[in-house]
Structure 1
Amino acid sequence: SGEHGLDSNGVYSGTSELQLERMNVYFNEASGNKYVPRAVLVDLEPGTMDAVRAGPFGQLFRPDNFVFGQSGA
């Protein structure tokens, strides 16, 4: 994410000390100097979660942090 200075693999590539100083507010540091979003994604339809996973930063999210219901009426 350009806002936080991360590339699509979760590696910090920014140049701002302020970005790096506040990184742990939004991300957990994993092995290999990679950052994982501190987020739980919740929706009633799995299609929304599929769209997030298919996006450019979708692989950064931990799979067990996706919570969704079953679609249908």
Structure 2
Amino acid sequence: MREIVHLQAGQCGNQIGAKFWEVISDEHGIDPTGTYQGDSDLQLERINVYYNEASGGKYVPRAVLVDLEPGTMDSVRSGPFGQVFRPDNFVFGMSVDPEKGGIGRKSTPNPEQVSLQLLFKGDH
């Protein structure tokens, strides 16, 4: 079976991604708590492409949400389907100098921050 890990990055990516999860959840009969509320067995067919089944019959999006600013993540979490994500789906919050495309020297970066730096680094 094919499985997809959905990566949302930045403000725009996370806003589009949040809407994507609303639509795909509706198509599969998943409510905002991650519980299946559908009315057709077809909705559960291939649900594991996008979701992991967690304890209690809850479905959790197979997704990583990334942003340098926690504000975008707060808006996703407070949105209609924000509670369907696990807290560890969110990766955010680091000091970055956009002019230099790197992490500030205020602290030692952890591996997640280094990964974010590589993800967001571009030719300016």
TM-score exceeds 0.5: yes
Residue in structure 2 matching 1:64, options 71, 88, 99:
88
Where does structure 1 differ by over 4 angstroms across 4 or more consecutive aligned residues?
none
- Measured in 2, the distance between the counterparts of 1:48 and 1:3 equals 25
Report the count of equivalent residues. 73
Deviation at 1:9, TM superposition (A): 1.4
Q: How does 1:31-46 map to 2 (within 5 A)?
A: 31-46=55-70
Residue in structure 2 matching 1:47, options 65, 68, 71:
71
Give yes or no for contact 1:11–1:35 (8 Å, CA) kept in 2: yes
Deviation at 1:72, TM superposition (A): 7.7
Q: Deviations over 1:40-73 (max 9, x none)?
A: 0011211110001001211111111101134786
Q: Secondary structure at the match of 1:2?
A: helix
Match of 1:22 in 2: 46
> Structure 2 regions of 5+ residues with no counterpart?
1-24, 98-124
Rg (Cα) greater in structure? 2
Deviation at 1:15, TM superposition (A): 2.0
TM-score, normalising length from structure 1?
0.84
Matched-pair identity in %: 77
TM-score, normalising length from structure 2?
0.53
